[in-house]
Amino acid sequence: MNDILIQNTTAFFEKSFGSAPEKTVLSPGRINIIGEHIDYNDGYVLPAAIDKVICFAFEKSNSKTSKIIAIDLNEEFEIDLTQEVKLSDVVWTNYIRGVIKQLQDNGFSFEGFNCVFSSNIPVGSGLSSSAALECGMIFGIASLFDLKIEKKDISLLGQKAEHWVGINCGIMDQFSSVHGLENKVIKLDCNTLDFEYHNADFKNYSLILFDSNVKHSLFTSEYNTRRIECEEGLSILKNHFPEIKTFRDASEEQVLNLKDKMSPKVFSRVHFVVKEINRVTKACAALDNGNIELLGELLFETHYGLSQEYEVSCEELDMLVDTSKTDENIIGSRLMGGGFGGCTINLVKKGHENEVKSKFSKLYLDTFGIELKFYDVKISNGTTLL
Ligand code: GLA
C-alpha cells in the first residue's frame, strides 16, 4: 500500500521541482490499546505505530524560502524563514509553521527547503495524522540539514508545535509515531518518558478499527477543558493528601473520600483518570500473559469511563461499543484517541472478521445513514528515512 504512496509522492516532487528528492521520509499514524487521556495525567499509555503513513519528499531550496505542497489537498504555501512565524487561517499549514517555529526557537539552524507530501492516514479519525505530520516534518528537516535531534526530542518538538496550533495535547501521539516498532506496543511512562516494548500478540483475536466517520468538531475546546478540570482535581487531591504528587500516587479510595470536595464534573474526571492508570498496568500484564479476554474486558471498562465519566464519546461511538458488547465475536471495544468521533478499537475473533464487518456496516448505515469504515491494524515501524 505504501509503495504506491511513495511512488506518487516522488513523481509529484519530480514534476514540481524538476529533480529527484534528496530525502524521503515515512511518518506513521498510531493506535492506542489502552490508557486514554492519561498521557497528560501522569499515567502510562500503550500505543503503537501503524502502517498508515504520510510520505514526504524533500530537497534543499538553496534560498531562505521553503515551499510545501500538500498533494491530497491540492494546496501549497511558501514560508520565508527570515520572517517571524505566525499562525495562518489555513489550518494544515500551521502544523508545519509550528514545527519551523519550534526548531528555530530551540536554536536549530537550517535553510529553505522544498517539500511535497501525501498521506493515507485518515484525517480526524483519531489516528494522529497531525503528529505524523509534525514528526515527519522535523525528521525530514533534520536529515536534510544534518541537525542532530534525538528521537525523544523530535517527539517533544512535535508536541510543542501542536500546542502552538492550539491543542494542549500530551506526548503519546508524537512519541509513538517516532518510536514505533513492528509488532510491538510501547508501554510509555508519560512522566519520565521511559518506555519499553511489549509483544503485540493478540492470539486468537484480530485488532480492527471501526471508523465512525464522525469528525471531532468539539475536539479542541473540550480537550483543553478536560486538562483544566484534571489539573483542578489534582490540586484538590494534593491539598488533602500531601503524599500525592501526581495522579499515579492516588488511590481510588482517596478520590472517593474527596467526592464532596470536588464539583461533580471534576470528581468524574479524576475518578476515571485514577482507574484508567491502574487499568493500563493490568492490560499490559494481560497482554504479556496472553490473557486477551481480560484485555478485552478492560477495553470495555475504559469505554464506559470515557463515555460516562470523562464524557468524550458520542452517540455513534457508544452505539458501536454497546453493540460490540452483545456480539459473541467481539471481546473488547472502546473509543480510541481523543474522542468525540473517530474510531473504536476492537478485538475480534479470528475467522469472524468479515461477518462482523458486514453486520456492523449494515447496522451503522441503517441507524445513522453513515458509512462505517474498517481498518485492519498492522503494527509497524516509527518515522523512517527511506
Ligand atoms: C489526543 C492527544 C493525545 C492524547 C489522546 C487521548 O490524541 O493528542 O495526547 O491525550 O488524545 O488519549
User: Going by CA atoms, what residue is nearest to atom 9 of ligand 1?
Assistant: 170
Of 1.20.1250.20, 3.30.750.200, 3.40.50.1980, 3.30.70.890, which CATH number belongs to 205-377?
Answer: 3.30.70.890
Which residue in the list 173, 189, 201, 376 is annotated as catalytic?
173
Task: Indicate if 173 belongs to the active site.
Answer: yes
- For the chain, the domains span 2-201, 205-377
**Other beta carbons within 10 Å of 50:** 25
Q: What is the pLDDT of residue 285?
A: 98
Record: fold of 2-201: Ribosomal Protein S5; domain 2 (3.30.230)
Please give the average per-residue pLDDT across 235-262, as a whole number: 97
The closest residue, in CA terms, to atom 2 on ligand 1 is 169
Angle, alpha carbons 351-199-247 (nearest 5°): 110
> Does residue 337 have its Cβ closer than 6 Å to ligand 1?
yes
Q: What pLDDT does 220 receive?
A: 85
173 lines ligand 1 (CB under 6 A): yes
The answer to whether the pTM exceeds 0.85 is: yes
Cβ neighbour number for residue 61 with a 10 Å cutoff? 17
According to DSSP, the residues that pair with 30 across neighbouring strands are 49
Q: What is the three-class DSSP state of 382?
A: coil
Task: Round to whole Å and give the CA distance between 222 and 308.
Answer: 15
Ligand 1 contact, 169 CB (< 6 A): yes
Q: What is the pLDDT of residues 196-235, one digit of tens each?
A: 999 999 999 999 999 999 987 778 899 999 999 999 999 9
Ligand 1 centroid to 340 CA: how many Å? 12
Sign of CA pseudo-dihedral 158, 159, 164, 166: positive
Beta bridge partners of residue 196, listed in sequence order: 187
pLDDT of residue 124 exceeding 90, the answer is no
199 CA to middle of ligand 1, Å? 23
Percentage above 90 pLDDT, the chain: 97
Residue 176: predicted pLDDT: 98
Looking from the CA of residue 128, the nearest atom of ligand 1 is 7
Choose among 196, 188, 198: nearest CA to 290. 198
Q: What is the pLDDT of residues 354-382, one digit of tens each?
A: 999 999 999 999 999 999 999 999 999 99
Residue to probe by mutation, ligand 1, list 40, 95, 173, 302, most atoms within 8 Å of CB: 173
Distance CA 282, CA 297 (A): 11
Q: What is the pLDDT of residue 117?
A: 98
DSSP 91-149: HHHHHHHHHHHHHHHTT-----EEEEEEE-SPTTSSS-HHHHHHHHHHHHHHHHTT---
pLDDT for 385: 96
Give, for ligand 1, the residue of 32, 36, 38, 39 to mutate: max count of ligand atoms closer than 8 Å to Cβ.
Answer: 39
Mean pLDDT, to the nearest integer, of 243-255?
A: 97
Amino acid making up residue 53: V
Q: Given the DSSP bridges, would you call strands 343-349 and 205-211 parallel, antiparallel or unpaired? A: antiparallel
Cα 217 to Cα 95, 197, 312: the distances in Å are 18, 34, 12
Report the pLDDT averaged over residues 180-184: 98
Amino acid in position 288: D
**pLDDT mean over 128-136:** 97
Q: Side chain identity at 283, as an amino acid letter?
A: A
Residue 272 pLDDT level (bands cut at 50, 70, 90): very high
The pLDDT, as a whole number, for residue 32 is 98
Percent of the chain predicted with pLDDT > 70? 100
Residue listed under C-alpha cell 494522529: 128
Q: Per residue in 42-78, pLDDT tens?
A: 999 999 999 999 999 999 999 999 999 999 999 999 9
- Give, using CA atoms, the residue closest to atom 10 of ligand 1: 37
Cell of 46: 500503550
